[in-house]
A and B are shown apart, each in its own frame.
Chain A
Amino acid sequence: DAKTTQPPSMDCAEGRAANLPCNHSTISGNEYVYWYRQIHSQGPQYIIHGLKNNETNEMASLIITEDRKSSTLILPHATLRDTAVYYCIVMTGNQFYFGTGTSLTVIP
């Protein structure tokens, strides 16, 4: 059973915020949420992670709902180089469970 559910694809206009949702309704209290992205078939690249609180770094913001059943990755000002597949991941113990990803296309 999938631990995360993501929409298969999304478009975003260049310069606008991209909001990528993820559903993880069966998440347990000690399981972290991670986001990675993959460009073409390169190795995935870390973006951000969190447990309960919202997080922000130089790449993105992560908003986790109070019940922790869903989260949203926000890329504040999307550029063409942000076109990639974005994976929402649950880490339980030291195992990582990737979702099937959202293919984000940033449109000029």
Chain B
Amino acid sequence: EAQVTQNPRYLITVTGKKLTVTCSQNMNHEYMSWYRQDPGLGLRQIYYSMNVEVTDKGDVPEGYKVSRKEKRNFPLILESPSPNQTSLYFCASRLLASSTDTQYFGPGTRLTVL
């Protein structure tokens, strides 16, 4: 089954404790992206990657890092989480040069930083 998976789905942590949220897709998509969703603000793009070893900042990259060492994986790293990073996070992938140009979203990771 074609899908985007994220782990963990729920995470409660404390300020300053480094964490990684993993994202994996099995569709051989070149493009992958991370979003955060906060009440009243819709989804905002954090980082995106056009292919292996190519990453770019989105609208709200501060406090986050990403890496793209393999095509299927795009982890999101919070080196020193703060309470304002409490949010619902979505990973997505997309096949470039596709007629439908659809982004496929993962199920989401709900992060709480105390």
**Is the beta-carbon distance between A87 and B100 smaller than 8 angstroms?**
no
B48 to A, closest residue via Cβ: A94
A88 to B, closest residue via Cβ: B42
**Is the beta-carbon distance between A42 and B107 smaller than 8 angstroms?**
yes
| CB under 8 Å from chain A, chain B span 35-90 | 35, 37, 40-45, 48, 50, 56, 58-59, 88, 90
**Is the beta-carbon distance between B107 and A46 smaller than 8 angstroms?**
no
Q: What is the size, in residues, of chain A's interface with B at 8 Å between Cβ atoms?
A: 18
**Is the beta-carbon distance between A43 and B90 smaller than 8 angstroms?**
yes
Is the CB of A45 closer than 8 A to any CB of chain B? yes
Residues of chain B contacted by A68 (CB below 8 angstroms): none
**Is the beta-carbon distance between B42 and A46 smaller than 8 angstroms?**
no
Chain B facing A: main interface SS: strand
Nearest Cβ on chain B to A14's Cβ, whole angstroms: 26
Which of A36, A41, A96, A101 lies at the interface centre, i.e. has the most chain B CB atoms within 10 A of its CB? A96
Q: List 21 A-B contacts (CB under 8 A).
A: A43-B106, A43-B107, A44-B43, A44-B90, A44-B103, A46-B102, A46-B103, A49-B101, A87-B43, A94-B31, A94-B50, A95-B45, A95-B48, A96-B33, A96-B45, A96-B103, A97-B45, A97-B59, A98-B43, A100-B41, A100-B42
Binding site for A on B (CB under 8 A): 4, 31, 33, 35, 37, 40-45, 48, 50, 56, 58-59, 88, 90, 92, 100-108, 110
Leading 5 A-B pairs by shortest Cβ distance:
A43-B105, A46-B102, A98-B42, A98-B43, A100-B42
